[in-house]
Amino acid sequence: MVSNDNPGGVEDRGGKGKKLVPLLTIVIVIVISVTLYFFSRDPAVVARLRSYGYAGTFLISLIGNATIFLPGVVLPILTGFSIVLFPVTGLLGPIIIGLTGGTGAALGEIVGYTAGYSGRGVLGKSHIYRRLVAWVERWGSLAIFIFALVPLFFDLVGLAAGALRFPLWKFILVCWLGRTIMYVFVMMLASLGWESVFLTFIGVGA
């Protein structure tokens, strides 16, 4: 006789698999993030990327913004590049750097979004994270845009957007708009000699 006493055995194994996938995804994302972080800290690597010109600023921003849970290094690097270029290009250089940096930032934040999308229910321990989830759930694009204008907490916003299944295309678009405005603003002010005012600001932002 064939016993049907445990018809859920296969489902139980499937359930464990479904729980394991988000955890593995988060682990993979963190490993990638840490690797990219130390990669971006190598002066030789940074110098090589900067030698690529505007394409290098895009890559620096892409790599820096893909490093979730870790301090950012993007704004200080791009600001220095803008200051060097300003005497040659005028404000056009800082504006282009802001645009390329904003584009790289928007694409780099997909890493955090993916971690949130895969880790729904796993990442909800932090009080700040829960608050950000509530804000993104209530205000949607407006909340993402406002947080994209400042360097702090945006990795958590990306996690929240992913966990809430916020449309990826809209997340990238809003992130690009906010990050580009912020980058252009900082690059222009730094190039005009205001970098000391924003020293603390750019020292912690990505």
Q: Which two tokens stand for residue 55?
A: 């394409």
Look at residue 124 in the predicted model and tell me its pLDDT: 56
Q: In the structure, what pLDDT confidence band is assigned to residue 24 with cuts at 50, 70 and 90?
A: low
Residue found by looking up tokens 């406002």 in the block: 146
Using CB atoms within 10 Å of the CB of residue 121, give its burial: 0 to 12 exposed, 13 to 18 middle, 19+ buried.
exposed
With both helix axes pointing from N to C terminus, report the angle between 154-163 and 127-139 in degrees, rounded to the nearest 10. Answer: 60
What average pLDDT score do residues 108-133 get? 75
| E-only strand ranges, the chain | none
Per-residue model confidence as pLDDT tens digits over 121-174 = 555 566 777 888 888 889 999 999 999 998 766 878 888 888 888 999 999 999
Side-chain half-sphere exposure of 171, counting CA atoms within 13 A: 26
pTM of this structure: 0.71
